[in-house]
Amino acid sequence: MGMTLTEKILAKHAGRDRVEPGELILAKVDLALGNDVTSPIAIDAVRKLGVREVFDREKIALVPDHFAPNKDIKSAGQMKMMREFAREYGIVNYFEVGRMGIEHVLLPDEGLVVPGDLVIGADSHTCTYGALCAFSTGVGSTDLAAAMISGEVWLKVPSTLRIVLSGKPGKWVEGKDVILHIIGKIGVDGALYQAMEYAGDGLASLPMAWRFTISNMAIEAGAKNGIFPFDGATRAYADARAKRTFEIVTADKDAKYAAEMGVDLSALEPQVAFPHLPENTKPLSQVGNVPVDQVVVGSCTNGRIEDLRSAASVLRGRKVHDGVRMLIFPATQEIYLQAMREGLMEVFVTAGAAFSTPTCGPCLGGHMGVLAKGERAIATTNRNFVGRMGHPESEVYLANPAIAAASAVLGRIGSPDEIR
C-alpha cells in the first residue's frame, strides 16, 4: 500500500522503505531550530553533558526573536547565552538583531529549509515549513539538545487527515481564513497527533504566502504538521531561494488516509476567531459590534510582504481610528526593506500606525504592545488564549491582515467594504 507525503519523508529520513502510522522511529534531521526562549534550556543541557561539538554546524539555526531586541535584563542574558554558544560551537546560522527575523519566516526565506526536508524546531510553529512540502514539527528544548548532539529525533509516525480544497476564494478571503475555517470546524484538537495534508484543485489559487499561513496554524488544530504537495508555486519559491539541492516527494496514489474533509474556497467568508481559542470562529458578517483598542499585523502567521501589502491596500489614504493603536511588525529585515522600497512603510506611518523592527514582541505578550486589563485586540497572529497578549483579562481576536487593517480604521472589527 502507498504512503502519504508525511510517511514518505519520514521513511526516507529513518532509512526505511516504509513506515506505518503509530510506529516510533529515529529519524535524521536536516535542520534543528531554537529561539531565545527555548534554546537556553537546550544549550545548558549540551554543556552539562560535556559535549564540545554539535553534529553539524550548518544544520542548526539559532534565532533570537521572541524577546529580541533584548526586552529586559533577564532576556538580555538569554540572548547572550545563545550568542556565545553560537560563536563557541561555530553555529553557522545564528541571526543577530539587525540581520534577523521571526524564525519561521526567516528560515524558508533564507533557503535553509527545502522541499523534502525533515526539520524540527523548539517552537510549536515549526510546522510552518510544511508549505514547502517538507516535514517539520515543533518539539521541546530537550529534543533540540538531543538533535544538536546526535542529528536525530524520535518521532511517532502520525496518521494523515487529507483536506481537499476546491473552488476559488472570493474578495478579502486569504490563507488565514482557510485555516481558521478548518480549525473552527474540527476544533483545537481536531487533528491531534495527526498530519494535515492538503490536496485538490483549489491549491492552484493558493500563493506560497498563504500556504505558509495555513501550515503555520496546523498546531492550532493539534496537528503534528500541515503539509502541501509540491507544485509550480513551490518550485518557483524553492528555485529562487534554496541553498541546498532537493528531491521532490509526492504522495502515492493509493496512500491511506485516516480521514478526509473538503473545503470549498468559493463559499468562504473572512473569518474571525473569538477569545479564547482559535476554534471560536465566526464568519465576518456575524461578528457584530466589537470595538478594539489595538490592532497588530505581523507574526510568523501573517508578517510576510504579501500580508503587509494586503493591510496597506486597505489603509492607503486612510487614518487609524482615534481610539486605536495599530502596530505593524514585518517578519524579517528583508521584508522590512521591501516594505520600504514599495512605499508601504509610508502608507502605514501616514495612516498613524507604528512600524516596528522584526520581533515576536506582542504576539506572545512579550513586549512592544502588551495589553492592559480589559483591553481588546484584533491580531493577525495565531493564538488568542487567555493572557496571550498581556493581562489575563484582555482579549485577542484573530483575523487576516485586510480585516485587521479595516478594523483599525473603523475602531471595531469590520470589513474593508464598510470603509468609505
Partner 1 sequence: MKLKGKAWKYGDDVDTDVIIPARYLNTSDPAELAKHCMEDIDAEYAAKVSPGDFIVAGKNFGCGSSREHAPISIKASGASAVIARSFARIFYRNSFNMGLPIFEAPQAVDEIDKGDLLSVDMESGLLRNETKRKEYRIVPVPPFMQELVAAGGLLNYVSARRKGK
What is the contact surface with ligand SF4 in residues (CB under 6 A)? 65-66, 102-104, 123, 125, 299-300, 360, 363-364, 381-382
* Collapsed DSSP state (helix, strand, coil) of residue 226: strand
| Binding residues among 222-251 for partner 1 as defined by CB under 8 A | 222, 224
User: Least CB distance from residue 37 to ligand SF4, whole Å?
Assistant: 8
* Collapsed DSSP state (helix, strand, coil) of residue 103: helix
Instruction: Concatenate the DSSP letters of all residues of 247-267 into one string.
Output: ------TTB--SEEEEEEGGG
Look at residue 211 and give the partner it binds from partner 1, ligand SF4, none, a contact being a CB closer than 5 to 8 Å depending on partner kind. Answer: none
* Collapsed DSSP state (helix, strand, coil) of residue 385: coil
Among 27, 134, 145, 398, binds partner 1 (CB under 8 A): 145
User: Least CB distance from residue 41 to partner 1, whole Å?
Assistant: 5
Is 362 a binding residue for partner 1 by CB under 8 A? The answer is no
Residue 333's φ and ψ, nearest 5 degrees, are -65, -35
Chain centroid to Cα 85, Å, comes to 26
Among 106, 122, 344, 405, binds partner 1 (CB under 8 A): 122
Among 5, 118, 146, 347, binds partner 1 (CB under 8 A): 146
Q: How far is CA 157 from CA 1, 228, 314, 324, in A?
A: 16, 17, 43, 46
Looking at 136-144, 168-176, 207-215, 372-380, which segment touches partner 1 (CB under 8 A)? 136-144
Is 365 a binding residue for partner 1 by CB under 8 A? The answer is yes
Among 15, 142, 259, 419, binds partner 1 (CB under 8 A): 142
Is 84 a binding residue for partner 1 by CB under 8 A? The answer is no
Q: Residue 349 has which C-alpha cell?
A: 506611518
Look at residue 300 and give the partner it binds from partner 1, ligand SF4, none, a contact being a CB closer than 5 to 8 Å depending on partner kind. Answer: ligand SF4
Query: Would you say 149 or 164 has its CB closer to partner 1?
Result: 149
User: Least CB distance from residue 80 to partner 1, whole Å?
Assistant: 12
Query: Would you say 101 or 115 has its CB closer to ligand SF4?
Result: 101
| Binding residues among 36-65 for partner 1 as defined by CB under 8 A | 37-38, 40-41, 44-45, 49, 51
CA 29, 34, 38, 44 torsion-angle sign: positive
Residue type, 193: Y
User: Least CB distance from residue 322 to ligand SF4, whole Å?
Assistant: 28
Looking at 72-80, 255-263, 285-293, 338-346, which segment touches partner 1 (CB under 8 A)? 72-80
Residue 156: CB atoms within 10 A of its CB come to 12
Is 24 a binding residue for partner 1 by CB under 8 A? The answer is yes
Angle in degrees, CA 417, 206, 202, rounded to 5: 100
Q: Residue 181 has which C-alpha cell?
A: 475555517
Which helix (H) or strand (E) segment holds residue 136: the answer is strand 135-138
* Collapsed DSSP state (helix, strand, coil) of residue 138: strand
CA 142, 146, 149, 152 torsion-angle sign: negative
Angle between helices 208-216 and 175-186 (to 10 degrees): 30
Residue type, 211: R
Question: Where do contacts with partner 1 occur on this chain (CB under 8 A)?
Answer: 24, 37-38, 40-41, 44-45, 49, 51, 66-67, 71-72, 74-75, 78, 121-124, 126, 138-143, 145-146, 149-150, 152, 154, 188-189, 192-193, 219, 222, 224, 277, 364-366, 370, 383, 385-388, 392
